[in-house]
Structure 1
Amino acid sequence: MQKQPGDWIFRAVKGALIGSGFILPGISGGALAAVFGLYERIITFLANPFKRFKENVLYFMPVGIGALLGIFLLSFAISFVLGEHESVALWFFVGAIVGTLPSLWRDAAKEGRTPVDVVITVIAFAAMLAFLLFGAPLFSKIEASFGAWVLAGALIGLGLIVPGLSPSNFLIYLGLYKGMSDGIKHGDLSVLVPILIGLVLIIALLSKFMAYIFKIAYAKLFHAIFGIVLASTVMIVPTDFKDFTIIHITISVMLLALGTWLGWWMSRLEDKMNTK
C-alpha cells in the first residue's frame, strides 16, 4: 500500500519528539519510542538491519530526519529551555507521555496479561524510581575527552535500547551535558564523531539481546517497560515552582493539555494505521 504524505509527516513528528528524549533531561528517547509505538520495530530493525532492509529504511527515514531535526533544533534552544522556563516546558512532555499510556498498556497485553506481569510492572516502576532518585550520587564529573564522548554516545544508545533511561540525566551528572549540547550546536566533529562511535557500539552490542527478549518474553518485557515509563514520567514532573506567576501556571496547564491531547491523538492514529 502506498504511504500518504501525511504518514511521513506523522512519523517525522514522532521522530522529533523521540529525538528530544536524547537531549532533554529526564526524558528517554526509548520511552518515547515505546509510547509512540515504534520501540519494538526499531529494536527488531537494529538487531537485524539487513532483514527487510529497503522497507525498514523507507519506514524509518522520516523518523530519523525528525529525530535529527529535534536534536539539532533543541541544541540551539537548550540554554533557553533549561533556564527559567524549564518547569513550564516540561509539562508538554509529561502530557505527551500521559496521553499515550492507555495505548501502551493495551500494547503490553497484546499477547496476554497475567498477575505476574502486573507484579513485574510494579517492580520495574519501583526499581527505576529508586535508581533515578538515588543513583545520582554514584556518578562524579569527568573531564571532556575522546573517551568521555564515546561514553556519552553509549549512554545515548542506552537511552534508545532501555526505555525510561534518560541519557541527559547521566550526562549532567558526569558534567558532559553542556559540552555535548554546544558540540551539537556548533557541529564540532571532535564531539560528534566519538558520540556516534559510542552510539553505534552500544546498539550493536545490545539490540540483538533486546530483540531476543522480546521474542521469548514479550508480555513481561513490555510490562517492565510500562513500569519504567511510569517512573521516568514521575521524575520529569516539575517540582520547582519558585517565582511561578498565574501566567506560568496558565501556560503550564495549556502545555499539559496540549501534550496529553497530542499523545492521545498520535496513539489513536497509530492504532488506526496499524489496523489498515
Structure 2
Amino acid sequence: MKKTIDWIWRFVKGMFIGSGFILPGVSGGALAAIFGLYERIIRFLANITKDFVENIIFFIPVGLGALFGIVILSFGVSHVLENYETYVMWFFVGCIVGMIPSLWKEASQEGRNQSDLIVMVLSFIAALCLLIFGQSWFGGQLSANFFTWMIAGALIALGVLIPGLSPSNFILYMGMYKLMSDGFKSLDLTVIIPIGVGGLLTILLLSKLIERIFDRYYAKFFHFIFGVVLASTFMIIPTEYTSFQLSGYAICGLMLLLGSALGWWMARLEEKYKKIN
C-alpha cells in the first residue's frame, strides 16, 4: 500500500513538473525544486550509470506524470488560457506560495549567511529583468524547422536545469508556442524528435556542471534558486482584469487560497514522507 501511494505521489509531482514545460510563466525546474526532486534529478542526469536501475524505477512515475501533464494540457491549454488564464495562474501562484516555506527551509540545510542572502537578492533582480525584458530580446516569429525546434528543446531542458526559467515564455516569444502545443497534441514526430534531441544535448552538456556547483556551493545555489523562484512567481501574477466583476475577483481569491492550501499540504506530505524514509 505504501509503495502504491508513493508511486501515485511521484506521478502527481510529475504532472505538476510537466505543466511547467507547457504553461507560460511556470517553471518545471522550480516545481521540481519545490517538490524536493531537483537535486536527485540533477545527480541522476549527471551520473546516468550510477544506480541506473534504481533511479529509472524511481523516476518512471515522475516521467509518466510529466508526459501525462504535457499531453493533457496540450489538448486544453489554448481553451483554458484563452478563457480562464487569470484563474489558472492565481491557482499556480497559490501552489507555489504554499510550498515556498518548504523551499526556504531546504535552502538553509547547510546553513545560511549574509552572502547567501545577497546571492538570493541578486538572483531575484536578475531573473526579474530577464523575465521582464525577455519578450523584447527574443521577440519575433521564427520559422519552425529542425534547428529551431532543437532550440525549443534546449530551452525546455534549461527549464529543468535552471529552476525559475520558464521555457514556455521564451518559446512563446519565438512565436512557436502554439505550434509546439499542437505538435504535442497530435504527437507530431517532426516536432517531438528535434525537441528531444535539443533537450538531451543540453542536459548532457550542463548537468555535470550543475552537480559540481551543488556539491561546492549548496547553500548559495539553493538561495539562487529561491530568488529565481520568487521572481518567476511574481511574474505570473495576473495583471489583466478587464470586464471583471466582483465574482471574478472572488474566484481569483478562492483559487489563490485553494492553490496555497494544496501547496502547503503537498509540502507537509513531502516532509512526512522524508522522515519515514
Give the TM-score range, shorter chain. Answer: over 0.9
Query: What stretches of structure 2 of length at least 5 have no aligned partner?
Result: none
Please state whether the residue corresponding to 2:148 is helix, strand or coil.
helix
RMSD, aligned CA: 1.1
Q: C-alpha displacement at 1:191, in angstroms?
A: 0.6
Once residues 67 and 248 of structure 2 are traced to their aligned partners in structure 1, the CA distance between those partners, rounded to angstroms, is 30
User: Which residue is equivalent to 1:48?
Assistant: 47
The 8 Å contact of residues 99 and 267 in structure 2, kept in 1 or not, is answered as yes
CA distance in 2, matches of 1:194, 1:135: 23
> How far does residue 250 in structure 1 lie from its aligned partner after superposition?
2.5
Write out per-residue CA displacement over residues 72-110 of structure 1, whole angstroms, 9 at most, x where no aligned residue.
000000111220310111111101100111010000000
| Counterpart residue number, 1:268 | 268
For the residue of structure 2 that corresponds to 1:242, the secondary structure is coil
Show CA shifts across 1:146-165 (max 9, x none): 11111111110010001110
1:3-46 Cα offsets, whole Å, 9 max, x none, are: 52111111111110010000000011001101111101100011
In the alignment, which residue of structure 1 is the partner of 2:65? 66
Q: How far does residue 229 in structure 1 lie from its aligned partner after superposition?
A: 0.2
Contact 2:157 2:203 (8 Å CA) reproduced: yes
Match of 2:135 in 1: 136
TM-score (norm: length of structure 2): 0.97
Give SS of 1:82's match.
Answer: helix
- Name the residue aligned to 1:167: 167
Kindly report structure 1 stretches of 4+ aligned residues shifted beyond 4 Å: none
Distance in 2 between the 1:193 and 1:187 partners?
A: 10
Structure 2 contact 134–170 (Cα < 8 Å) conserved? no
> Distance between the aligned counterparts of 1:159 and 1:116, measured in 2?
25
Where do residues 232-243 of structure 1 align in structure 2 (5 Å cutoff)? 232-243=232-243
Provide the rounded CA distance (Å) in 2 between the counterparts of 1:89 and 1:247: 15
Corresponding residue number in structure 2 for 1:12: 11
User: Aligned residue pairs: how many?
Assistant: 275
In the alignment, the residues of structure 2 paired with residue 190 and residue 10 of structure 1 have an alpha-carbon distance, to the nearest angstrom, of 32
What is the match of residue 37 of structure 1?
Answer: 36
Report whether the alignment pairs 1:184 with 2:194.
no
Q: How far does residue 248 in structure 1 lie from its aligned partner after superposition? A: 2.2
> For 1:36-115, what aligned pairs fall within 5 Å after superposition?
36-115=35-114
Residue by residue, what CA displacement relative to the aligned partner does 1:183-207 show, whole Å, maximum 9, x if unpaired?
0001111111101111111111111
Q: Provide the identity percentage.
A: 56
